[in-house]
Amino acid sequence: MDFTYTDEQSMLAEAVGRWLDADYDFARRRRLAAGEESWQSNWSQYADLGLLGLNVPEAHGGMGATSIEALIVMQALGRALAVEPYLQNALVAAPLLARAGTNTQCEAWLAPLASGDKRVVVAAYEPGGGYDLEHVETRATAMGDDFALNGRKSLVIGADGADALLVSARTSGNAGDPAGISLFLVPTASFGVTLEVAPTIDGQRAAEISLRDVTVPAAALVGAVGRGFEELELAIDRGTAGLCAEAVGVMEKLLEMTAEHLRTRKQFGQPIGAFQALQHRAADMAIAIEQARSMALLAAARIDDPDRRERRRAVSAAKTMIGQSGRHVGEQAVHLHGGMGMTDDLAVGWYFKRLVAIDLTHGDADHHLEQFGALL
């Protein structure tokens, strides 16, 4: 085993870090999150660095990189608190399409995804379904050579402005059955697709999507009829592993800001970092981050494991721990900043919110603890 970066991996980390350091300070992030500046302007940067096709095969214009490169990129984006729906497009939807899509679909979509000319996100969760991907009530009814889709999708990050949605819909069975779920590539502009977009607490934009007699041809099917669940689950696992890596970057930055504050803020005639009660909180943050780092690596190492159980155990273990420790680190950071930590002005609160959002995305700590417990 070797946990050190290869030269290429170091170069990737440096290139992404350099761009974010130069272009992505907190003031800019704030404008992007508030919608005062369009994040789409950054999308070409992602494309130029090759990040949009990171996990897309080289034959389709991508980099064909592994989950380790994805981890490196996500960690860097976490440090910068990047607000673009990068994960949803490049690490969830594109690899899903590359694996399960037909040749025609791959040829039509993967190169434009990698170049940033098109965007696709997965619409999987439904109102009332919690984090369960098999809770699919949306129906896809065969009508001759077409399918008609009816139902609702919830909290789809990055859906507004996307060219198409990868929608999970039921072709047989009942909500809760993994079998009978099919995946469809649905152009967002299709008749009957309605998006209601609202901000999230951490500065992203999420859509509630309603599908009303949305007609797509059979050619829109991604994978076999009724057999979409496995690929969907893998894609979301890949996204979850990416979130874990992002959380490590967010936590690292929080600890750095907190340590800086402990060194410079003076009370009772000395830096507050001289007080042991505060030192030990900082030490516990550092320990939590080291563990999170290890778990993000474990998830990345197992994401392409052909053994589904091994993959799921690793992803759920990582997300359980990072969901909890991320919140812990965020809470400590705000607390150690004192009253200033409560203000909207400071970056600390936004990093904290991102960690909470990460916990609440693709399964929180409780959800994944349950999943892991079933695979003991």
Partner 1 sequence: MDLRESPEDVAFRGEVREFVATHLPPEIRERVLGFRRVPREDYVTWQRILHQRGWGAPGWPREFGGTGWTARQRSIFEEECYTGGAPRQMPFGLSMVAPVIMKFGTPAQREHYLPRILDFRDWWCQGYSEPGAGSDLASLKTRAERRGDVYVLNGQKTWTSFAHYANMIFCLVRTRAEGKPQQGISFLLIDMKTPGLRVRPIKTLDQGADVNEVFLDDVEVPVANLVGEEDRGWTIAKYLLGHERTNIAGIGMCKRLLSRLKALAAGETRRGRPLLEDPRFREKVARIEIQVLSHEWSLMRVISLEQAGRDVSTEASMLKIRGSEIQQHLGALLMECAGPHALHYSPEWLETGHGEEMPGGAHLAGLAAQYFDLRKVAIYGGTNEVQRNIIARAVVGL
The DSSP annotation for 107-120 comes to HHHHHHHHHTS--E
The contacts found for 280-287 with CB under 8 angstroms, 24 or more apart, are 281/332, 281/335, 281/336, 282/255, 282/258, 282/332, 282/336, 284/328, 284/332, 285/251, 285/254, 285/255, 285/258, 285/328, 285/329, 285/332, 285/333, 286/255
Q: Using alpha carbons, select from 322, 314, 316 the residue that is nearest to residue 354.
A: 322
Which range in 77-85, 127-135, 140-148, 293-301 contacts partner 1 by CB under 8 A? 293-301
Cα–Cα distance between 188 and 169 in angstroms, integer? 15
Among 287, 308, 338, 345, binds partner 1 (CB under 8 A): 287
Among 121, 155, 222, 297, binds partner 1 (CB under 8 A): 297
What residues numbered 302-361 form the site for partner 1, per CB under 8 A?
A: 317, 320-321
Residue 230 or 260: the one with the smaller Cβ distance to partner 1 is: 260
- The site string for partner 1 over 65-94 (x = CB under 8 A, - otherwise) reads ---x--------------------------
Which range in 113-121, 175-183, 276-284, 355-363 contacts partner 1 by CB under 8 A? 276-284
Report the C-alpha dihedral over residues 233, 373, 243, 326, rounded to 10 degrees.
160
Q: Does 257 bind partner 1 (CB under 8 A)?
A: no
Among 144, 189, 276, 306, binds partner 1 (CB under 8 A): 276
Q: How far is the CB of 374 from partner 1 (least distance, A)?
A: 9
- Residue 46 CB contacts under 8 Å (≥ 6 apart), including other chains: 52, 84, 86, 90, 116
Q: Does 273 bind partner 1 (CB under 8 A)?
A: yes
List of residues contacting partner 1 (CB under 8 A): 1-6, 9, 68, 255, 259, 262-263, 271, 273-274, 276, 279-280, 282-287, 290-291, 293-295, 297-298, 300-301, 317, 320-321, 369-370, 372-373, 376
